[in-house]
C-alpha cells in the first residue's frame, strides 16, 4: 500500500537527470573579462554618428554616409590588428552589386573583414562572426534620412569589432574572421558575396555566427523586459537538401531532420555559451529565421556552410526600420539610448566563448558511421581521426532520446569506435573530438554504414 504514495514521487524525477559539470578554460574566461560594455557602447554611438549607413548613401563625405562608416570600421579594426604581431589582416571585400531589387543602380559595396590567421598551417578551418553595418528607415530606398540603426545592426557590428579587439593578440590553431557586411537591408548583398567567394575559393568555413539585432531588452506591446535570454535560429532540413532527392531520402530514412549541421552548432552554442556566460539562457529556435525577415547566415547555409542567427528575445518594432520621430507620445527610431549595452556584452561573450572553444578544439572526426549491418539492441559507431591539425585526446559519443532537444549523455572514448548497450533504434547519436583541456569540436551526426 505504501507504493501508492511513493509512485508519484518517483515519476517526478526526470528519467535522465544528471549533474552538469562546468569546467571553464581560464584563457577563455580572461578574454571574456576583457569584453567591455563601454567599448561596445562607444562603437554603437560612433556608428550612429554617421547619420545614415544606407547602402546607397554618400561615399565621399568624411563624416556622413556609408563611405565614412566603412572607412572608420576598417581603420578601427586595423588599430586592433596592431596587437596581433602581423597575424590579423584587415581589408575590404569589394564588389559591384548590379541594379535590381532594392539596388537602383550598379553600386560598389565594401565588406570589412579582419582575418586572424590560425597558428597551425595544417589547420584550414575558418570560423566567422558577423554583423551588418548598413542601416535603413521606413522607405528602404531612402538614402538621406537619419537612420541610426543602433540595434539593427550596430549592435551586431560592435560584437564583431569588440571580439576582434580582444582576440587579436591571442593565438588559435584555426583562423577566425571578424566581419562587418553591407547591403543586408537591400537584400543580403554583402554576405552573399562573401558566401559565394567562400564556396568558389574552397574556404573551409566550419561555422558562421550572424549577430543581427542583439541589443534591445524591452519588448514592444508585451512590455516584457528580458536581458537573460538570446535566441539562436537554426534550420532543420539543410538548405542544400532542397531539390536533392538523395539527401532528402536519407533524412527521411534515418530520422536526421533535427540533426542538421546548423542545429548541431545551435546545441553546441547553448552548451558552451552557458558554460561561460552567467545569467544567459540560450534559447534554441527550430527555424531558419523569423517571419518576414532574412539574415546574413542564410547565404552561407545556401552555399553549404554551417551557420546560425542570434537575435534578442523581444524585438521592439517601433525602433527597427523607422524614421526617427515622435507620434502620439511614442518614440520611433533605432536610437542608441534604447540599447542595453550590458546585454550586448553578454551576447559578445557568448560569441567569444563559442569561437574560442571551436578554434582551440581539434577538427571534427571524419567518416562518422553507425553500423546497421545486423539486428541488435546495441549501437556501434565508427569514425576516423581528423585529417589535419591538432590530435584529439579522445572523443565524446553523444546520446539523447529521439524526442529530446539536447544531448543527454556523453561517453568519453579514446579509440575511434564505440559499442554502447543502448539500441540505435531508440536514441540519436553524434561524435565530437575533444582535446586534453576539454575544447570540443562540433558534433557529427553519423551516416548508416554496413
Residue among 212, 296, 312, 315 that touches Zn ion (CB under 5 A):
212
118 or 149, CB closer to Zn ion? 149
State the Cα–Cα distance between residues 114 and 134, nearest whole angstrom.
Answer: 18
Sign of CA dihedral 14, 16, 21, 27: negative
CA nearest to 427, candidates 15, 12, 13: 15
The answer to the question of residue 334 lying near Zn ion (CB under 5 A) is: no
Segment contacting Zn ion (CB under 5 A): 144-152, 169-177, 243-251, 438-446? Answer: 144-152
153 or 440, CB closer to Zn ion? 153
Q: Which three cell numbers stand for residue 143?
A: 538614402
Phi, psi dihedrals of residue 200, rounded to the nearest 5°: -65, -35
The answer to the question of residue 152 lying near Zn ion (CB under 5 A) is: yes
State the Cα–Cα distance between residues 353 and 302, nearest whole angstrom.
Answer: 26
Q: Which three cell numbers stand for residue 222?
A: 508585451
3-state DSSP call for residue 54?
coil
Minimum CB separation from Zn ion for residue 289, in Å?
A: 11
Segment contacting Zn ion (CB under 5 A): 17-25, 186-194, 209-217, 256-264? Answer: 209-217
Segment contacting Zn ion (CB under 5 A): 107-115, 136-144, 147-155, 271-279? Answer: 147-155
Segment contacting Zn ion (CB under 5 A): 45-53, 205-213, 258-266, 412-420? Answer: 205-213
319 or 400, CB closer to Zn ion? 319
203 or 310, CB closer to Zn ion? 310
Q: Which three cell numbers stand for residue 126?
A: 575558418
Minimum CB separation from Zn ion for residue 152, in Å?
A: 4
Q: Which of residues 377-436 bind Zn ion (CB under 5 A)?
A: none
Q: Which of residues 342-361 bind Zn ion (CB under 5 A)?
A: none
CA angle 426–427–431, rounded 5-degree value: 150
- Over the window 75 to 114, marking each residue x when it contacts Zn ion by CB under 5 A and - when it does not, the resulting string is ----------------------------------------
Instruction: Return the CA Rg of the chain.
Output: 23
State the Cα–Cα distance between residues 46 and 38, nearest whole angstrom.
Answer: 12
| Interface size with Zn ion, residues (CB under 5 A) | 3
What dihedral angle (degrees, nearest 10) is formed by the CA atoms of 157, 158, 161, 162?
A: -160
31 or 128, CB closer to Zn ion? 128
Does residue 153 have a cis peptide bond before it, meaning omega lies within 30 degrees of 0? yes
225 C-beta neighbours (distance < 10 Å), count: 12
Segment contacting Zn ion (CB under 5 A): 5-13, 98-106, 145-153, 387-395? Answer: 145-153
The answer to the question of residue 340 lying near Zn ion (CB under 5 A) is: no
Residue among 41, 76, 153, 334 that touches Zn ion (CB under 5 A):
153
335 or 420, CB closer to Zn ion? 335
State the Cα–Cα distance between residues 104 and 139, nearest whole angstrom.
Answer: 13
Q: Which residues bind Zn ion (CB under 5 A)?
A: 152-153, 212
Amino acid at each position: 500500500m505504501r507504493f501508492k504514495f511513493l509512485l508519484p514521487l518517483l515519476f517526478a524525477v526526470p528519467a535522465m537527470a544528471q549533474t552538469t559539470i562546468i569546467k571553464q578554460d581560464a584563457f577563455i574566461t580572461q578574454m571574456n573579462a576583457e569584453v567591455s560594455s563601454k567599448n561596445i557602447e562607444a562603437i554603437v554611438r560612433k556608428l550612429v554618428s554617421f547619420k545614415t549607413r544606407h547602402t546607397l548613401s554618400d561615399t565621399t563625405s568624411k563624416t556622413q554616409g556609408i563611405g565614412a562608416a566603412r572607412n572608420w570600421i576598417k581603420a578601427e579594426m586595423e588599430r586592433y590588428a596592431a596587437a596581433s604581431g602581423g597575424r590579423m589582416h584587415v581589408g575590404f571585400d569589394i564588389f559591384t552589386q548590379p541594379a535590381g531589387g532594392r539596388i537602383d543602380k550598379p553600386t560598389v559595396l565594401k565588406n570589412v573583414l579582419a582575418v586572424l590567421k590560425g597558428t597551425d598551417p595544417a589547420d584550414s578551418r575558418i570560423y566567422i562572426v558577423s554583423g551588418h553595418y548598413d542601416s535603413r528607415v521606413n522607405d528602404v530606398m531612402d538614402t538621406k534620412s537619419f537612420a541610426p540603426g543602433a540595434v539593427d545592426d550596430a549592435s551586431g557590428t560592435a560584437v564583431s569589432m569588440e571580439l576582434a579587439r580582444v582576440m587579436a593578440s591571442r593565438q588559435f590553431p584555426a583562423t577566425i574572421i571578424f566581419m562587418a557586411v553591407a547591403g543586408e537591408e537591400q537584400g543580403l548583398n554583402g554576405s552573399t558575396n562573401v558566401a559565394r567567394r567562400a564556396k568558389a575559393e574552397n574556404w573551409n568555413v566550419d561555422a558562421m555566427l550572424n549577430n543581427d539585432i542583439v541589443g534591445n531588452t524591452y519588448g514592444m506591446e508585451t512590455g516584457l523586459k528580458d536581458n537573460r535570454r538570446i535566441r539562436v535560429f537554426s534550420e532543420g532540413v539543410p538548405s542544400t537538401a532542397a531539390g536533392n532527392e538523395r539527401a532528402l531520402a536519407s533524412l527521411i530514412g534515418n530520422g536526421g531532420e533535427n540533426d542538421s549541421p546548423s542545429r548541431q552548432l545551435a546545441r553546441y552554442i547553448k552548451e558552451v555559451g552557458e558554460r561561460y556566460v552567467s545569467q544567459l539562457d540560450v534559447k534554441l529556435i527550430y527555424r531558419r529565421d523569423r517571419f518576414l525577415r532574412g539574415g546574413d547566415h542564410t547565404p552561407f547555409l545556401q552555399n553549404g556552410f554551417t551557420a546560425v542567427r542570434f537575435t534578442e528575445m523581444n524585438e521592439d518594432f517601433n525602433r527597427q526600420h523607422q524614421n526617427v520621430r515622435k507620434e502620439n507620445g511614442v518614440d520611433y527610431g533605432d536610437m542608441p539610448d534604447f540599447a542595453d549595452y550590458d546585454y550586448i556584452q553578454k551576447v559578445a561573450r557568448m560569441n567569444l566563448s563559442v569561437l574560442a572553444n571551436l578554434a582551440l578544439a581539434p577538427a571534427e572526426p571524419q567518416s562518422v558511421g553507425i553500423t546497421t549491418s545486423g539486428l541488435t539492441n546495441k549501437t556501434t559507431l565508427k569514425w576516423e581521426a581528423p585529417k589535419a591539425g591538432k590530435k584529439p585526446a579522445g572523443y565524446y559519443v553523444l546520446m539523447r532520446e529521439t524526442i529530446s532537444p539536447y544531448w543527454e549523455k556523453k561517453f568519453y572514448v579514446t579509440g575511434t569506435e564505440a559499442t554502447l548497450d543502448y539500441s540505435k533504434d531508440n536514441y540519436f547519436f553524434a561524435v565530437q573530438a575533444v582535446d586534453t583541456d576539454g575544447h570540443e569540436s562540433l558534433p557529427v551526426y553519423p551516416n548508416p554504414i554496413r
